[in-house]
Structure 1
Amino acid sequence: MAVFKGAGVAIATPFNQDGSVNYDEFARLIEFQISNQTDAIIVCGTTGEAATMSEKEHMDVVKFCIDKVNHRIPVIAGTGSNCTQTAVQLSKEAQEYGADAVLSVTPYYNKATQDGLVAHFSHVADAIDIPVIMYNVPSRTGCNILPSTAAKLVKEKANIVGIKDATGNISQTAEMMNLTDGAIDLYSGNDDQVVPIMSLGGIGVISVLSNVAPRQTHEMCEYALKGDFAKASKIQLDAIPLIKALFAEVNPIPVKKALEYVGIEAGPLRLPLTQVSDEHAEQLKKAMKEFGLI
């Protein structure tokens, strides 16, 4: 059984002005997501600014989220690292805290070979009993899980169950689905490709858009899962201007401003990320109004 089907939110982490985690607003954001039909929460990923957290802080945020959600929907903990041992340790802690699965990004900067990726993900999988969803985002990591590598891992490791595909390469996605014989849970990692990826056998999205449009993203996935691609495509296409605005600057810069527009005090970003420009903030506000969010 899949960890989740539908729209999983790659949830942002609200900060106070002094840079500490704003747990009160984080709790509000979690409740906003659950009340608006988000199907799962992915905590401490790219959108959650995990790269700027200490390991202790990272896991404190994971634990808070798991405890707050309290089994109402699945919680997937971001536990990736460019150091395999660190990824193993974070994954073991996430399991201890009650995470339903982990999301493990390809090692960044090191630029592992395909054999290195097999060894890395195998070590993580062997260290825990909960499911592993691989995260393939070559534009950020400089490292690409090739279709044959994904197929090898899901066939050899029972708890490597899925992949967040943010390659943007539909041809590669199709080849991977062919090689895995449908035995991999495929999630779109790009909000502008949810419906195309689900048409190839995907079962949902791990979404930035869901931070501010959880109900609409859930509905888009629900229609696709039911085979009603006409209705799913309508939501997908209507959302394109907003998605473009959400990625006008590097994620999660715009989405934290977008959360402010819907009443969540997401606070500042941690350096080296900086506040969204005035021009992009206005474009974002316009797109959110046209999509019916504000």
Structure 2
Amino acid sequence: MNKFHGTGVALVTPFNTDGTVDYQGLKKLINHLVDGGIDYLVSLGTTGETATLAKEEKKKVWDFTAEINNGRLPLVAGIGGNDTSVIGETIKSFERNQYSAILSVSPYYSKPTQEGIYQHYKYLSELSELPIMLYNVPGRTGSNMSPETTCRLAHDFKNIIATKEASGSFDQFNQIMRDKPEDFLLISGDDPIALPMISIGAVGVISVLGNALPKQLSDMVTLCLKGDFTSALPAHLSLLEITRLLFAEGNPAGVKAALKQLGICDDVVRLPLIKASEGLNTLIATQLKQLA
């Protein structure tokens, strides 16, 4: 599973001013990331505003992403939600094309028990022809997937290969590293803590920031994976403020503001999200100039 070591990027979904998917913007974004040294791409994770896309739109985005990528990088498809049977049907009918894995967020809003989370992923694992990455992001889902549940799934199902951890809890990360199977991957789900997570054994990050600054981020992660944390630290620290700004008014409004300023795609988001404010745009622009 070395293809998932390093820097993955959770792609935004560019939109035109009329709200339709901007496929030319998506093409520019994919090429920007390939040229920036990213290691793999995640299509339609939560950063892709997946909750606002219709079934037909999702299929077209997945297919278009595979076409433009053209085998250059490994691809991961985001397929998650809180209706287990619907997610299962989507996974069963998913046309794999170039995709190497599925990233599936822990069920949100419903607040299932740990046993419910386990049974949810058990169901998906038994249906999927592709490996599955777990995704724990309690700040969005409303519930935490415990390290015990994560490691139980990792030990019980060979095709559950990784977890994207965005709980922010180093106690949780430590327990996963201690108790997981040797080949199970811990991946940072938060840009600002990619460095310290790699220091305890994580294999990289699935990033939002990387949409805008792929080279700066991937260079830093590469140094970390080589064990050269002394060289990586200045780059890590230099990215903290831009990362804070990108999330100041919600994701992906901030990173789309940055992408517009970089000339890659517009900053349109779908309701209930709204664009970044003028003040935030100014602050982001200042940071981009400093980091260019």
**TM-score bin (small chain):** over 0.9
For residues 159-201 of structure 1, give each alpha carbon's deviation from its aligned partner in whole angstroms, at most 9, with x where no partner exists. 1000111111111111111111544211111110000111111
- Distance in 2 between the 1:260 and 1:199 partners? 33
Partner of 1:151: 151
Provide the rounded CA distance (Å) in 2 between the counterparts of 1:262 and 1:142. Answer: 34
Which amino acid in the other structure matches residue 130 of structure 1?
L
Q: Is the 8 A contact 1:134 1:160 kept in 2?
A: yes
- Work out whether 1:81 is the aligned partner of 2:75: no
Q: Does 1:245 align with 2:245?
A: yes
Residue type matched to 2:12 in 1?
A
**Alignment RMSD (CA, Å):** 1.2
Distance (Å, rounded) in 2 between the aligned partners of 1:267 and 1:23 = 14
Residues 142 and 210 of structure 1, relative CA distance in 2, 3 Å threshold: same
Name the residue aligned to 2:291.
291
Query: What is the CA–CA distance in structure 2 between the aligned matches of 1:210 and 1:247, rounded to whole Å?
Result: 13
Is residue 59–residue 93 contact of structure 1 (8 Å, CA) maintained in 2?
no
Q: Deviations over 1:115-154 (max 9, x none)?
A: 1111111111111121101110000001211011011001
User: CA shift at 1:235, angstroms?
Assistant: 1.1
Cα separation, 1, equivalents of 2:28 and 2:60: 17
1:222-251 Cα offsets, whole Å, 9 max, x none, are 111111111222211110111111111110
Write the mapping of 1:258-269 to structure 2, written as runs, cut at 5 A: 258-269=258-269
How many Å separate the matches in 1 of 2:141 and 2:166? 11
For 2:3 and 2:129, how far apart are their aligned partners in 1?
A: 13
Structure 1 unmatched ranges of 5 or more: none
Q: Which residue is equivalent to 2:175?
A: 175
Correspondence list, 1:152-231, <5 A: 152-231=152-231
**Cα distance in 1 between the residues matched to 2:78 and 2:145:** 18
Contact 1:75 1:101 in 2 (8 A): yes
Ranges of 4+ aligned residues in structure 1 off by more than 4 Å: none
CA deviation string 1:242-281 (max 9, x = no partner)? 1111111110011111001111123410000001111111
Q: Contact 2:269/2:275 (CA < 8 Å) preserved in 1? A: yes
CA drift at 1:216: 1.2
User: How far apart are the structure 2 equivalents of 1:219 and 1:77?
Assistant: 24
Deviation at 1:88?
Answer: 1.5
Q: Which residue of 2 aligns with 1:54?
A: 54
Question: For 1:240 and 1:288, how far apart are their aligned partners in 2?
Answer: 12
Amino acid in the other structure paired with 1:229 = F
Answer whether contact 2:3 2:39 (CA < 8 A) is retained.
Answer: no
Describe the SS at the equivalent of 2:48. Answer: coil
Cα 1:110–1:231 change in 2 (3 A) is same
DSSP 3-state at the match of 2:123: helix
Measure the CA separation in 1 of the matches of 2:186 and 2:216.
Answer: 20
Superposed, 1:83-122 pairs within 5 Å as 83-122=83-122
Residue of structure 1 equivalent to 2:272: 272
What TM-score do you get using the length of structure 1 for normalisation?
Answer: 0.96
CA contact 1:95–1:130 (8 Å) conserved in 2 = no
| 2-structure distance, mates of 1:201, 1:161 | 15
CA distance in 2, matches of 1:4, 1:263: 28
Q: Deviations over 1:46-70 (max 9, x none)?
A: 1111111112211221121122212
